[in-house]
Structure 1
Amino acid sequence: MNSASQKWRDFKNKLTSRFVWPNKDNPEKLISPPSQYQLPLADWKAFVDARLDPSWEVTHEKQKQRTMHCKYHHRMSRKGYIGLEAELRNKKLVAEDEEVDRSVLWRKAREDKSGNITCSETSEVAEKIDELLEKKGKGEFKSSGMNDVLTAALGSQEHYGRVRGVGGFVKPQVYFKTLRKKRETISKVVIENVKAQSEETKSLKAELEMLRSQLAAVIPLINDRSSETVASNKFSGVKDSKLSDDVQDVYDCGCGALSS
């Protein structure tokens, strides 16, 4: 199904690039479908209308920008990595029982018929692959799972849905023989407990805010009463001190009169 989906997209892309876009300014040539394909007229008209719609042109431009980030273009045509590996075995470049490193296939896929790599960026990666393969043979480089020669040479991690250098529709779990992470299920009891704790936390926060507001209203009254008490104590202290002095004067005068 994945292969059929890819071929269907490729076919629509061929129709767009070869027949629709070159004739978008000449509507007369778009009336009938291409003669080499037995396409119903209604389907062809709907396809042309969809491709000439401005919204599709925006989508096309976005995809074009994404494609520009692809720097290392292969030269395998339609044979793919599986066909390339079979070709290497037929030419006795690889033994029948030898396991071909995917970095070797990646490098060979970007060579021309003379065995040369014309792109400078691809050539740099190819040189790194040769160096790492040599170190691997000497035991100076150890590959583990996805961290192998090709990943180190490219300097980017492997995509979770595909594997570079081995062909389409190959998942990393299959190629690298890694276990797929199981989804962790949460029981309904745990979910209910979390909800209950969340509601309790909200209730406690509301009570705390209410207490803070009540405390904010009471503090000014407490401060006012404290000020009145301090002032009262000071006033009473002044009166008691004066009364004590008057009593002492009277006592002194009485004692003096008795002695005389």
Structure 2
Amino acid sequence: MKTKVDEGSLVASGVNDVMTLALGKKPNGSRVQGMGHFITPSMYFDMPKPCMSERQKEKSICEKRYEMMVEQLRDMKAQLSSYAGSDIGSCSVATKSPSGEIGKRKVAVEVEKP
């Protein structure tokens, strides 16, 4: 078999690797052939765990949401600053008194003299 592989007439890849052909049996997907009963592919080949890729996806989604919220906050602050000099929501705006005069509201305060 080694000569066939060296000559190139035997192509071993994927499930039909050299170890599978030498042992003459199909590999068990939950362990690595020839390495012992409890050795898994992730232990032997140091493959990343699937949950890590899920965490990366979740992290990227959270980062996108954060950026959207920062942008919304920036827009809201810009809107708020545009209202600062306007008559909307200002307590120092000239109002119309019941007598028809235009001016600031006046509050009468009585002061007792001793």
Q: By percentage of residues, which structure has more helix?
A: 1
- Do the two structures share a fold, i.e. TM-score over 0.5? no
Larger Rg: 1
TM-score where L is the length of structure 2? 0.39
Greater relative CO, 1 or 2 (CA 8 Å, sep 6+): 1
